[in-house]
Amino acid sequence: MEKLVKDGMVAVLVSRGYGAGWSSWMSDAPECLFDPVLAQMLLDGEDEMEIATVAEKRYPNSYTGGVDGLTVKWLPVGTKFRIDEYDGAESIEILDEIRWEVA
In a domain, 29, yes or no: yes
Distance CA 75, CA 92 (A): 10
pLDDT in tens, 51-82: 999 999 999 888 888 898 999 999 999 999 99
Angle of helix 48-58 relative to helix 36-43, nearest 10 degrees, comes to 170
d(CA 68, CA 19): 9
- The domain of 42 spans 5-97
Is residue 59 domain-resident? yes
Whether residue 14 lies inside any domain: the answer is yes
Q: Is residue 103 part of a domain?
A: no
Tens digits of residue pLDDT in 9-19 = 999 999 998 88
Query: What beta strand segments (E) does the chain contain?
Result: 5-6, 9-15, 70-76, 81-86, 89-94
Total domain count, the chain? 1
